[in-house]
Amino acid sequence: MVLHRMTFKRPVAALGFSPDGPLIAVGLGKLVHIWRSPVFRKELFPFQLERTLPDCAGAVTALDWSPDSKYLLAGSKDLTVRFFRMQRLKGSNKPFLFLGHREAIVGAFF
């Protein structure tokens, strides 16, 4: 059963549901969108955009959530993996970079 359809301006290259359920990460080009998933009630547009993570220099190719849904890994064609914290902190919210890969990232896992 289809509950809702979403259309994006770019093709979706990576997608991941958070293990605890309320968030969905979508890789669209160089951006990662974090959406709040719908609840069980009728709404005009049940998905809500929570955050956009624009720090990738290449197209996002892989996404994975930590088991507690507090962190997100985003691999990209720029040969890096970015480690994002979902809780916003005062000051810098820049991701931690894993560098040194020799080819585009095809998977990122906790």
pLDDT tens profile 18-64: 998 889 999 998 999 999 877 666 666 678 888 898 778 889 999 99
> 3-state DSSP call for residue 7?
coil
> What ranges make up the beta strands (E) of 21-107?
23-28, 31-36, 48-53, 60-65, 71-76, 81-85, 96-98
- pLDDT above 90 (res 71): yes
User: Is position 2 within any domain?
Assistant: no
CB 47 within 8 A of CB 71: no
The pLDDT confidence band at residue 70, using thresholds 50, 70 and 90, is very high
Find the CATH number of the domain harbouring 64: 2.20.25
The confidence score (pLDDT) of residue 40 equals 64
Checking 37-41 for CB contacts under 8 A at 24+ apart, the result is: 38/3, 38/4
Model pTM?
A: 0.82
User: Is position 6 within any domain?
Assistant: no
User: Is position 105 within any domain?
Assistant: no
- pLDDT above 70 (res 99): yes
Looking at the structure of the chain, the number of domains it has is 1
Name the residue with higher pLDDT: 70 or 42: 70
User: Is position 49 within any domain?
Assistant: yes
Per-residue model confidence as pLDDT tens digits over 2-20: 666 778 888 899 999 999 8
Mean pLDDT of the 70-80 span: 92
User: Is position 29 within any domain?
Assistant: yes
Is residue 46 left, alpha or beta, with left meaning phi > 0 and alpha meaning psi from -120 to 50?
Answer: alpha
User: Is position 106 within any domain?
Assistant: no
A 10 A CB-CB count for 34 gives 18
Reading the block at residue 23, the tokens are: 């968030």
> 3-state DSSP call for residue 76?
strand
Q: Find the domain containing 20 and state its range.
A: 12-98
